Amino acid sequence: MDTTTTATEPWRAPRFWLFLQVVARGVVGLVARLRVTGDVPDELRHGPLILAANHINPFDPVVLTAACRVRRIAPRIMATGGVFRAPIVGAAMRHSGHIRVDRRTPTVGQALEHAAAAVARGSVVLVYPEGRMGLDPGMWPERGKTGTARLAFASGATVVPVAQWGAHEILPYTAPRGLLPALGRALVRRPVIRVHFGPPVDLGEIDPLGPGAAARATEAIIEALTATLVPLRPDEPDLPRYVDPTRPTETRRQHRRSRPNGADGN
C-alpha cells in the first residue's frame, strides 16, 4: 500500500511508522547499548535526502530505524520484496510507506522510479548501496551496485553515508534460525552498537550524462561509507573481533578501501 496521496503533495511519515520507530528504539535498548553520532543538516532532515547504509546483519534495519528515531528522521526504506511478502512484517512495511525492490524480476526497475518519485516529494529514502548483506571477510562495505548513484542522479538529492557497527553481535546471519539463543546472549551482554551519520558525499564533479558516471558515483558513495565506518571500529582495522560462525564470506565483490598515508587496502 502506498501511503502517499498525490504526486505533488509532500510525503508525511504515517503515525504507524513513527510508532514503530519508538518500538525499535526500545528493542535495541533491551539487547544493546546504542551510540549514535553525527547528524544530517537541518534543511535535509525531512528530505529530500538519500541515506546510504552498510548492511552487515539481519538486525540492521531495526538498528537503523532506532538510530533515525534518535536523529528525528523518518526514512522510507528500500527493501527486498521477500520482506514485503512476510505475513506480519510485510503488512507493517506496506503501511509504513516503504519501497519494495523485487530483485531479479522484470519489474525491478520500477523500484528506482518509485524511490525517485518519493525523493521528489520530499522523502528521506534509506538504501543499501551494496545491494545485499555484505560477505566481505573483514565486514567492510563491498563494491556497490549502481542503483543508489542512479537514484541520486535521477532525483538530484544529497547522499549521506550512514555507517553501523555491532549488529552482528546480536543476531546470527542465519536468523531466524538461532534467533532465541542469540537474543538471550544479547540480553545478558548488551554489546555496544554504533551508528554514525557522515558528511554528505560530494558528487558535484561527476557529470550524470558522462561515460561511467554511475560507476564513478557508486565508488564515491562506497568510499564515503567506508570512511564513515572506520572510526566506529578503531580496534578492528582489518577483521572483526566477533566472528559469526553462521556467516559465509567471499571476496568476489571485495572493495579495495583507501588507507591513510598511502597504505594498501584490503
The pTM assigned to this predicted structure is: 0.91
Beta bridge partners of 165: 194
Q: How confident is the model at residue 263 (pLDDT cuts 50, 70, 90)?
A: very low
Rounded-to-integer distance, Cα 168 and Cα 187, Å: 14
Q: Report percent pLDDT > 90 for the chain.
A: 73
How much is the pLDDT for 107? 67
What are the residues whose beta carbons fall under 8 Å from the beta carbon of 215, sequence distance 6 or more?
Answer: 146, 149
Summarised one tens digit per residue, pLDDT across range 35-55 is: 999 999 899 988 899 999 999
Greater confidence, 125 or 103? 125
Say if residues 180 and 20 touch (Cβ distance below 8 Å).
no
State whether the Cα torsion 13-18-24-29 is positive or negative: positive
Q: Which three cell numbers stand for residue 116?
A: 525517485
pLDDT at 259: 62
